């Protein structure tokens, strides 16, 4: 058990579209690479999102926008789209942290253009289907 599980409020949460196959695969990817188990996951349509995100990000038209909420004792930050992905990769650390920092070197409009292109077509190429459930240990990091 790591130090993040002992606190009552997760300090890092990725909010994703719970009805998207690409998003589900992305969550499984982050569960796999986050060896320190720092990041938790919650669907934009869920209870946790209602508690932590503004209503406009939970609207049906915004479900293609991934959000990453980070908090520490001093501040809380909310990142969206490509910035959310880059910041989450940085927090995973190691090679992925390097990749996240490299991604942030790309101008935000270009990153978000690519993000929006993928998000617009995500349901065509990654339909929601039956997904393997994560291992019991990883399920603790899936919030309602």
Domain range annotation of the chain: 3-127
Q: How far apart are CA 115 and CA 105, in angstroms?
A: 15
CB 26 within 8 A of CB 67: no
Q: Which residue has the tokens 């998003």?
A: 23
The band of 74, judged by pLDDT with boundaries at 50, 70 and 90, is: low
Q: Mean pLDDT, to the nearest integer, of 61-69?
A: 82
* Residue 92 reports pLDDT greater than 80: yes
Say what the pTM is: 0.82
């Amino acid at each position: 058990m790591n130090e993040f599980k002992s606190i009552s409020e997760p300090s890092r949460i990725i909010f994703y579209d719970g009805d998207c196959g690409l998003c589900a695969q992305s969550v499984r990817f982050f569960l796999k690479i986050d060896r320190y188990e720092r990041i938790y996951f919650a669907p934009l349509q869920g209870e946790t999102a209602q508690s932590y995100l503004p209503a406009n990000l939970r609207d049906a038209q915004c479900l293609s926008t991934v959000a990453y909420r980070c908090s520490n004792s001093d501040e809380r930050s909310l990142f969206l789209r490509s910035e959310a992905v880059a910041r989450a990769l940085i927090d995973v650390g190691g090679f992925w942290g390097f990749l996240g920092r490299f991604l942030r070197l790309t101008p935000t409009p270009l990153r978000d253009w690519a993000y929006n292109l993928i998000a617009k077509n995500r349901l065509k190429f990654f339909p929601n289907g039956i997904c393997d459930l994560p291992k019991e240990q990883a399920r603790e990091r899936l919030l309602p």
